[in-house]
Amino acid sequence: MNRVSTSSSTGQLQNLPPGMVIGPDGKPCKICTAFRNWKPRTSAASIAVLAAGRPQSDHEPDTRPAYCPPDVEQLGRATWTFLHTTAAYYPERPTPNQRANMLNLLHSLPILYPCSHCASHLGETMKTNPPDVSGRIALSRWLCERHNEVNESLGKKIFDCTKTDERWKDGPPDGSCD
């Protein structure tokens, strides 16, 4: 992650707040940065928020207002939910066409994913750990392991990969999700 940026108007380096990520265009990347790492805007931005009829105090400082574009955390949660759920419903014995389509989906992420840092990391990970699309259980395990690698790097709790069906398909055995 790049935490120093060059000002386009002056060519001088600017210090960035902790957690701020610079995108491939050299500017702060909203989709690559957690909302809590964005510092409050100038008074002009505050005026714009008020002019739009949105009160400034209706959310916690670390909570992304609903009207804002997604940040890296919201995008990540949505992406992992989509991928894990897709794997949970992937066939146990996929046809060659289903395998090819799943590989196309997975290989498109490092190219199309909006957070360039996340996309690059996934692309590198897929080179050393190619996706296993041989069946539902193998794909779910592969995704869970990749997700756990990300969680570990972020200091988050590791998920028990034996519980992927419970989490993403069937729900807990107590029926609380039925």
Query: Can you give the CATH number for the domain in which 108 is found?
Result: 1.20.120.310
Determine the length of the chain.
178
Q: Which two tokens stand for residue 53?
A: 């009829």
> Is the pLDDT at 35 greater than 80, yes or no?
no
Domain that holds residue 141: 72-169
Look at residue 14 in the predicted model and tell me its pLDDT. 59
- Which residues are paired to 28 by β-bridges? 22
Q: Count CA atoms within 13 Å of residue 163 on its CB side.
A: 8
Over residues 89-115, the mean pLDDT reads 97
Q: How many domains in the chain?
A: 1
Inside any domain, residue 16: no
Distances (CA, A) of 10 to 7, 16, 27, 112, 120: 5, 16, 14, 32, 29
> Is the pLDDT at 37 greater than 80, yes or no?
no
| pTM beyond 0.85, yes or no | no
